[in-house]
Structure 1
Amino acid sequence: MDKALQANAKGDVFLRISTHLAERTDIASALEAVADEIAEVIPFSHADLCLYDRPGWMASYEVGIQTRWSRARTRVDRSPIRDLITGKCDFMLCSDAMQDPRQTFAGACSEPIFNHGLRSRVHVLMKVMGQSIGTLNISHETPGLYTLETVQRARNIADVLSPYFHAMHTAEQAQRATQVGQEAQKREEGLRRGALELTQTLEQERQRIGMDLHDQTLADLTRLLREVTGDAPLDRAALAQGVSDTIGNLRQIIDTAVPTLLELFGFAHAVRVHLERAVGIAPVRIDVTDDTGGAPDRLDPTTRTALFRIAQEAINNAAYHSGARTIKVMIEPVAQYGLVMTISDDGRGIPASLHRSSGLSHMRTRARLISAELDILNDYGCRVRVMLESRT
């Protein structure tokens, strides 16, 4: 095919792309509608758009292979294409992304690259009126498939897509804004119900503690009193052991009611101790990492305790119900004062038909009560992520 015919063919493809996009009003269906035309210009097994969602975060929309990228927002500093997003380059071209340190650096959200063998990758900016609105990303399993000519083709596609998707993204944001009032009212009602459930749960916990003190601690102390005041010879070693056991049992009851380790040794240590207790002697690899320099301990006591309770519930679910072999807790900084806590495991994940949902409901309620954002994602196990926005 001569150059004139090639130009006409490409022009026809871009015209069809524009025609399809003019008929769509949402991003996901629009991308699906133009997938075949994009494949005519650049063969791919996975393609996605990453659009700026909020400062420091990207939202992904995929076509072809479906991955975790579109299931939850991605932090810019963890994105495999952070160099492009942050302006360190104006395009990225990878012959084998699985071996490319720009995309597989420590902490990168690059699991889909390895899970689906996305080796050849090309990334270009999407711009409207000179301002970047996101990126177009195209991938294929075949290594070395894309060239600098592919980069130019991707730019041509991005130029056609950008104004349409920018308009749709802006419309979606405006639509969400109009729903704020209604959603706020629903959240307030949900908080009221959730707070009531938590109050009922706390009352049940008080009753349980009272029964434990009555059935265990009081019974132990009564037995020790009989031994001390009885006529039988006093076995001081046995008495000391009995007192020690009683103190240990009482300390366990107190630790359950009040997170004393949280007060004495700090958030990360308290989470590690709870994780170790939950795992017990099971062959489970655990890890607790705090990259914030102790930011949870600088939160107000109510917020810190709520965050700890969420961690406890997520850890309990992973340790007791998931069959996980690895459980990790990571606390990372967000913006200037915020933080994100992620509890992840490699277990069975959360069943679709979960009969006992009170634990998840309580996590969500606690998150709402401290104005935190909670995501629960089944992704090769379970990932619970709690994000506290910047606060002084």
Structure 2
Amino acid sequence: MDLAAESELDHYLAISRAVAGEMDLQNVLNGIAGAVKSKLLEYHHLDVAVVTPGDKSKHFALETGIETVWNRDGEGRPNALAPVRQVLSGEIGNLVTGDAWTDPRFHFDGADDAPIFEANLRSRIHVPLTVHGEVIGVLSFSSPERNAYGEDDVRKAQNVADLIAPYFYALNMSDQAQSSARAEGAARGREHSLRHGAQRLTEAMEAERLRLGMELHDQTLADLSSVFRRVSRLAGQPGPDSSELQEIAKAISRCTTDLRGIIENTKPGVLDLFGVTQAIEAQLERATQGQDRKIATKVIDDTDNLLDRSEYRLQLAVFRIVQEAVTNAVKHSECSTITVRLSIEDHSLGIVVANDGRVPLVGWRRSNRGVDNIRIRAALIGARVEFERDPNGSGSRTILNIPCEIVRAGTQGPGLPNEPAAQTSPPSLHHFADSAS
């Protein structure tokens, strides 16, 4: 072996030592750069286009020397638009030019060729990174001088590419495996959370059914039994007592009112007929009636009734979350105002339930089951929920954010089956209340 060949081999060994043990692709390229320049090849710009394992129609770029748009955004770029597309596809064994500015092989309709001019890349060598007979990327050397490279330089560039290809292949596969593992772990975590959330929600619904059964048994059924006994007694007497009949009528009215309240809490009929905003208004009115203090309420919808065009399950989930937040505020905060605002910000639908009440920590602990129900319902519809307290303890907010793509996923145009049929004279809430009574 002559001295020149021995010296060249030493340079390849130096490259191997420079990249040994590196676990980052950019660090591998930086190690190559230091070992190649001034020893094997002079260059102004060194880059590697690496085929994306998950989508082989795209590639990502790593650069050293000068950073261009090829590497700046970090996104995969289409192979079909790359100036080195023929090498990436394996159509040709390498690509060499004395002046890339004027070489038509680099410039075609839609070509990603702007950096060639911006970084003054004139002479260029492009050789494939090949593993198991498959091109996994392209190694490129560039110089601002015209006709800077000859056949011997192409040979050296290919030797470097053959030396580093296994590193790039192994590290790229390792990155893909780690990404897949992270994605699988995240998916499993979401699945576990949703399964646990669904179980918790089912338990909460079962507890609610038990509560309703107890209310019907202990209050409404007892009242109806009393009415039955009084009517039976009157049936055995010669003439009815008008005062007794009036008392029975009042008892029946109370039972009817209690049943209507239970039914309204179980199935929000206003939501079915009038939409989310008016259902929330009706819920605010029900929740604040009969309190020992006056509570002013307001609903502000800046979304042009977007929720009313979404899937019913989403509408119902939002209504239940707002219902729980309002109930917590009325029971625990001693508030004098409750405001519900719907708005669109940063590609998400925001629902904020705010009150000006006192926010002691014990109050939030007492409503722990309700807060958990809110979190579970939010998770089941892919929403994010936050609870904020005023630093001075004089108010709190429940903030629900739903990505707009989730809201719009089930939106419907006018006249679609799940929308209420159009009416010539839309009923009012007062009309609904009158008919329900």
Q: TM-score scaled by structure 1?
A: 0.50
| Structure index of larger Rg | 2
Q: TM-score scaled by structure 2?
A: 0.45
